[in-house]
């Protein structure tokens, strides 16, 4: 997702495994920021088949994750961000668009999180 616009859906198992390895390499150093959770510009919504598992977000200088309702973040170097963006195939310029600035070449915004079981 680029903010709330869908960039693409990744279904290739080999590509998914590569992304999971890249995320797993970032397991340490997470914390709950005192100022609140930073809002990422690029976000991966992670599923196991149809079951929503959480998200992994990228900002200009941080990574953010949401799993089981808990948000955590960690600082990231320019190199770490570029490497991860290369892994998922996203251009870094997307990190510098203003919040709410729509990309006319993408589908209209979607809900950032899947609906709950009651449909809300």
Residue-wise pLDDT for 57-67, tens only, equals: 999 999 998 87
In a domain, 75, yes or no: yes
**Confidence band (pLDDT; 50, 70, 90) for 48?**
confident
Q: Which whole number is the average pLDDT over 94-107?
A: 86
Residue showing tokens 């998922």? 88
In a domain, 2, yes or no: no
**Confidence band (pLDDT; 50, 70, 90) for 98?**
confident
In a domain, 119, yes or no: no
Domain count, the chain: 1
Mean pLDDT of the residues in the chain: 85
pLDDT at residue number 59: 94
In a domain, 4, yes or no: no
Q: Which whole number is the average pLDDT over 30-59?
A: 87
Q: Which whole number is the average pLDDT over 57-86?
A: 90
Task: Please give the residue range of the domain that contains residue 19.
Answer: 13-96
Is residue 18's pLDDT more than 90? yes
Task: Give me the helices (H) in 1-120, please.
Answer: 13-24, 78-88
In a domain, 51, yes or no: yes
pLDDT at residue number 113: 52
In a domain, 114, yes or no: no
Closest CA to 56 of 68, 40, 33: 40
């Amino acid at each position: 997702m680029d903010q709330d616009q869908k960039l693409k859906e990744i279904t290739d198992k080999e590509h998914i495994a590569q992304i999971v390895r890249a995320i797993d390499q970032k397991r340490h150093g997470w914390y709950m920021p005192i100022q609140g959770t930073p809002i990422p510009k690029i976000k991966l919504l992670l599923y196991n088949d149809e079951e929503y598992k959480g998200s992994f977000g990228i900002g200009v200088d941080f990574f953010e994750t949401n799993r089981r309702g808990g948000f955590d973040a960690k600082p990231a170097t320019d190199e770490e961000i570029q490497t991860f963006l290369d892994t998922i195939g996203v251009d870094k310029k997307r990190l510098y668009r203003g919040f709410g600035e729509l990309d006319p070449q993408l589908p209209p915004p979607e809900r950032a999180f899947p609906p709950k079981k009651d449909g809300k």
